[in-house]
Structure 1
Amino acid sequence: MMRLQLWPRARCLFDEPVQVKVAGLRSNQVVTMKARSTDERGRLFKSSAIYRADETGEVDLNRDPSLSGSYIGVEPMGLLWSLSPEILHKLFTKTKALIPHVVKISVYEEGEEGQMLAEVTNERFLIADGVSRVPVSEGNIRGVLFTPPGEGPFPAVLDLCTFVSETRACLLANKGFVVLTVAMFNDKPRDIKEFHLDLYQEAIDYLLKQPKVSFKGVGVLSRSKGGDVALALAAFVPGIEAIVWINGCSGSSVYPLFYKKHQILSQLSLDISKAIPTESGASIIKHVIEDPLAEKNKGSLVPVQKVKGRLLFVASGDDLNWDSKGYMDEMVERLKRHGKNNFESVYYPLAGHLLEPPYYPFCPSSFHIMTPFPVLWGGEPKAHIAAEVDLWEKIQEFFKTHLSCDPAKSTANL
Structure 2
Amino acid sequence: MASQIRLKLLPSARCLFDEPIRVKVAGLKSRQVVTMRARSTDDKGVVFSSAATYRADESGEVDLNRDPSLRGSYVGIEPMGLLWSMTADTLHKRLQKTNALNPYVVKFSVHEEEGEGRMLAEATNERLLMGDGVSRVPIKEGNIRGVLFTPPGRGPFPAVLDLYTFGGGLSEKRASMLASRGFLVLTVALYGHDDLPKNVKEIHLDYLEEAVEFLKKQAKVSGKGVGVISLSKSGDLALSVASYLAGVEATVWINGCSANVALPLYYKKRQIHSALMYDVKKIIPTESGAIITKYAVNNPLAEENKGSLIPIECAKGHFLFVAAEDDLNWDSKAYLDEMVARLKHHGKENFDSVSYPGAGHYLEPPYGPYCPSSFHGVVGKPVRWGGKPKSHAAAEVHLWKKIQDFFRIHLSWDAAHTKAKL
Q: TM-score band, normalised by the shorter chain? A: over 0.9
Q: 2: distance between equivalents of 1:42 and 1:26?
A: 37
Matches within 5 A, 1:5-404: 5-111=8-114, 113-162=116-165, 163=167, 164-186=170-192, 191-404=199-412
CA contact (8 A) 2:191 2:199 kept: no
Q: In the alignment, which residue of structure 2 is the partner of 1:405?
A: 413
| 2:245 partner letter | V
CA contact (8 A) 1:152 1:212 kept: yes
Q: 1: distance between equivalents of 2:68 and 2:115?
A: 20
Q: 1: distance between equivalents of 2:239 and 2:69?
A: 42
CA contact (8 A) 2:192 2:199 kept: no
**The residue matched to 2:75 in structure 1 has which SS?**
coil
What residue ranges of structure 1 are gaps of 5+ in the alignment?
none
Q: 1: distance between equivalents of 2:27 and 2:190?
A: 51
- Distance apart, 1:372 and its partner CA: 4.1
What residue ranges of structure 2 are gaps of 5+ in the alignment?
none
Q: 2: distance between equivalents of 1:156 and 1:405?
A: 10
Tell me: CA distance 1:190–1:254, structure 2 relative to 1, closer, same or farther (3 Å). farther
**The residue matched to 1:74 in structure 2 has which SS?**
coil
| 2:269 partner letter | K
| 1:175 partner letter | R
Tell me: CA distance 1:99–1:120, structure 2 relative to 1, closer, same or farther (3 Å). same
Q: 1: distance between equivalents of 2:419 and 2:250?
A: 24
What RMSD, in angstroms, separates the aligned Cα atoms of the two structures?
A: 1.2
Tell me: CA distance 1:189–1:68, structure 2 relative to 1, closer, same or farther (3 Å). farther
| Structure 1 residues 298-344: Cα deviation after superposition (integer angstroms, max 9, x where no partner) | 01000011011011000010000001000010011010110000011
Q: 1: distance between equivalents of 2:413 and 2:364?
A: 25
Of residues 2-11 and 190-199 in structure 1, the stretch that sits farther from structure 2 once superposed is 190-199
| Structure 1 residues 213-233: Cα deviation after superposition (integer angstroms, max 9, x where no partner) | 012200000111111011111
Normalised by the size of structure 1, how large is the TM-score?
0.98
Q: 2: distance between equivalents of 1:105 and 1:357?
A: 21
Q: 1: distance between equivalents of 2:140 and 2:381?
A: 34
CA contact (8 A) 2:407 2:413 kept: no
- Distance apart, 1:112 and its partner CA: 5.8
| Structure 1 residues 27-55: Cα deviation after superposition (integer angstroms, max 9, x where no partner) | 11000001111100111111101111111
Q: 2: distance between equivalents of 1:327 and 1:111?
A: 51
- Distance apart, 1:278 and its partner CA: 1.6
| 1:316 partner letter | A
Normalised by the size of structure 2, how large is the TM-score?
0.96
CA contact (8 A) 1:14 1:125 kept: yes
- Distance apart, 1:185 and its partner CA: 4.0
- Distance apart, 1:371 and its partner CA: 2.7
| Structure 1 residues 92-130: Cα deviation after superposition (integer angstroms, max 9, x where no partner) | 111211000001000000036111000100000111111
Tell me: CA distance 1:178–1:112, structure 2 relative to 1, closer, same or farther (3 Å). farther
Q: 2: distance between equivalents of 1:386 and 1:349?
A: 10
| 1:78 partner letter | G
Percent of pairs with identical residues: 65
Q: 2: distance between equivalents of 1:114 and 1:216?
A: 57
**The residue matched to 2:272 in structure 1 has which SS?**
strand
Q: 1: distance between equivalents of 2:100 and 2:200?
A: 26
Q: 1: distance between equivalents of 2:224 and 2:85?
A: 41
**The residue matched to 1:79 in structure 2 has which SS?**
helix
**The residue matched to 1:104 in structure 2 has which SS?**
strand
Of residues 245-254 and 372-381 in structure 1, the stretch that sits farther from structure 2 once superposed is 372-381
CA contact (8 A) 1:71 1:78 kept: yes
| 1:62 partner letter | N
| 1:258 partner letter | Y
| Structure 1 residues 324-375: Cα deviation after superposition (integer angstroms, max 9, x where no partner) | 0000100110101100000110010110000010101100011111234311
| 1:138 partner letter | E
Q: 2: distance between equivalents of 1:67 and 1:112?
A: 18
Q: 1: distance between equivalents of 2:115 and 2:387?
A: 30
| 1:165 partner letter | S
